[in-house]
Amino acid sequence: MEINETPNPEDSSEELAWIKNLQRNSWEPEVIISGISLAFIFAFPAQIYDFAVKLTQDYGLEFIGAYLVLLYLSIIVSVFKIFFSVHLVLRFTWAGLLGLSYAFPNGVINEKLFKNSRDFQYKKPQEMVLKLEKICSMAFAFPMMMGMIFIVFTLYLGLLLFLYRYFDLNFFMIYLFFLASLVGFGLLSAFSKKNKFKSSLNASIFSTVQAVYQSNLGKWSISAYSIFIMGLTAPFIKSDSKGFFNFANYANLDQELLEWPDNSMYFEDQKDPQKRFPRAMMPSANISGDFTSISIAYYDEDNKNFEKIKEGIHTLPDSLAWPSLENQQDLYKIYLNDSLVSNKITEWKKVSYGATGQRAYLVVLDINSLKPGAHEIRIEKLTLFGALGFSEPEIKYRKNWAKFSFIKVTS
C-alpha cells in the first residue's frame, strides 16, 4: 500500500521561519568559527615546515618533492588565513554599522550638514547593515567551497605519497602521474557527456555551492576572485618557506650563507630547540677545552642511494682522491682549517635529539693543538642527484656542503 504525504503549509512556513531566524543570527557562529580557526591557522606554518623537513630527512622524499608539499600546504593555510581575516574585518565593520543604525535610525539629516553636502542622497545605516550582512555571509561560505577542493586534493596527494614511500617509487613518476590525473579529470569533466558519475558529482555539496556562486555572482567573477586570493598568498608562502633550501641535501651552500652564515643553523645554543638543523651543528660558537663535538644531520635519501653512489664512485675525478665507501659516513669529509680530520675519527655515533626526534651522526674532534681564536669547519659531501627524472642520476661532489667558524676561547 502506497502512502502519499502532502507537505503541510504550516510545517513549511515554520521551517522557513526557522531558517530565517538562523540567518539573522548567523553572525555569532561565524565570528566564533573564524576566530578559533585563525588562532589555529597562525600556528600551522611552523608545523607544516617541520613536516616538510621530516619528509626529506626522515622519510627520504626528494627535496623538490618535500618543497612542493610545503608550498601546497602553505597555500592552503594562507588562503584560509586571508579568508577568515577578511571575514572578521567585515564583521567588525558590520558591528560598527549596526551600532550606528541603532544610535541614529533616521540616518543623515541633510539640513544639518554643510551647504556643499546637503544636496546629495545618502544611504540609511539599516540599508548598509543589510547589504554588508549578505557580503559577510557570502565571504564566510566561500572558504567552505575552497575547503572541499583542498580536502580532495590533500587526500589524493597523501595517498600518492604513501604509495611513493611504501613501494619506494620514483618521485618524478609520482609527480607526473599526479599532474596527468588532474589534467585527465579536468578534460573528462569538461568534454564528457552527461552520465551517472557526472550527475552524482554535480549533485554534490561542492558543485552546488560552486553553482550558486557562479550563477549569482558571475562565473568569471568567482574565478577572478579565487585567482586574486591566490595571488595574495605569495608573501605568506615566501615567509613560511624561508630557509627551507638549506635542507636541500644535494646542494652547496649559497654565496650569501657562505659570506654571512646564519649561526642558528650551526650552533645548538643559538638554535630553537623545537626546530631541526639542516646540515651540521656544534654545541656553541665559543669552545673551550681539548675536544668538541659535531652533529651531522642524517638524510634517509643517502641510505636509499648509497649503493648507487658506491657503484658509481669511479666516475669522480681522480683529483678528489675520495676513499672507498664502506658506510654512509664515508660520504663526508670533514676539514678543520683546511686540514682533513674525518680520516682520524674512529667512531661515528648515531644520536637522536629529543624535542624534534631528529637523527644525526655525532663525532668528536680533537682541538687540543688549536690556538685561541677563530677556526673554520668545512664539510664536503657526495650526493646522488637527478633533475626530476629528466636525466640519469649522477654523483655530485659538494665542496661547501657545510661551512662555518667557531672560536676557541682557551688553550
Query: Rounded to an integer, what distance in angstroms lies between the CA atom of residue 273 and that of residue 48?
Result: 17
Across all residues in the chain, what is the average pLDDT?
85
CA atoms within 13 A on the CB side of 105: 1
Per-residue pLDDT at 51 exceeds 70:
yes
Query: Rounded to an integer, what distance in angstroms lies between the CA atom of residue 94 and that of residue 86?
Result: 12
CB of 234 within 8 A of CB of 380?
A: no
Query: Rounded to an integer, what distance in angstroms lies between the CA atom of residue 232 and that of residue 370?
Result: 53
Q: How confident is the model at residue 23 (pLDDT cuts 50, 70, 90)?
A: low
- pLDDT score of 102: 82
Highest mean pLDDT, choosing among 66-75, 169-178, 291-300, 305-314: 291-300
- pLDDT score of 1: 39
Helices (H), 106-204: 125-167, 171-191, 196-202
Per the model's pLDDT, the better-predicted residue between 193 and 376 turns out to be: 376
Helix (H) or strand (E) holding 396: strand 394-408
Query: Rounded to an integer, what distance in angstroms lies between the CA atom of residue 285 and that of residue 272?
Result: 15
Least confident of 141-150, 193-202, 233-242, 250-259: 193-202
Output the nine-digit C-alpha cell for 345. 675519527
- pLDDT score of 348: 94
CB of 270 within 8 A of CB of 263?
A: yes
Backbone φ, ψ for residue 10 (5° rounding) = -70, -40
Least confident of 118-127, 213-222, 353-362: 213-222
Output the nine-digit C-alpha cell for 190. 569538461
CA distances from 209 to 51, 154, 328 (A): 32, 20, 54
Per-residue pLDDT at 156 exceeds 50:
yes
Per-residue pLDDT at 185 exceeds 50:
yes
- pLDDT score of 18: 56
Query: Rounded to an integer, what distance in angstroms lies between the CA atom of residue 211 and that of residue 202?
Result: 9
Give mean pLDDT, residues 153-168.
Answer: 85
Give mean pLDDT, residues 42-51.
Answer: 88
Q: How confident is the model at residue 362 (pLDDT cuts 50, 70, 90)?
A: very high
Which residue from 278, 294, 292, 270 is spatially nearest to 243, judged by alpha carbons?
A: 278
Query: Rounded to an integer, what distance in angstroms lies between the CA atom of residue 171 and that of residue 177?
Result: 10
Give mean pLDDT, residues 91-116.
Answer: 85
Q: How confident is the model at residue 401 (pLDDT cuts 50, 70, 90)?
A: very high
CB of 162 within 8 A of CB of 59?
A: no
The pLDDT tens digits of the residues spanning 273-327 come to: 999 999 999 999 999 989 999 999 999 999 999 999 999 888 888 888 898 899 9
Per-residue pLDDT at 126 exceeds 80:
yes
Per-residue pLDDT at 394 exceeds 80:
yes
Query: Rounded to an integer, what distance in angstroms lies between the CA atom of residue 104 and that of residue 122?
Result: 13
Helices (H), 254-347: 255-259, 263-266, 300-312
CB of 270 within 8 A of CB of 256?
A: no
CB of 293 within 8 A of CB of 347?
A: no
Per the model's pLDDT, the better-predicted residue between 148 and 53 turns out to be: 53
Question: Can you give the pTM of this predicted structure?
Answer: 0.84
Per the model's pLDDT, the better-predicted residue between 60 and 218 turns out to be: 60
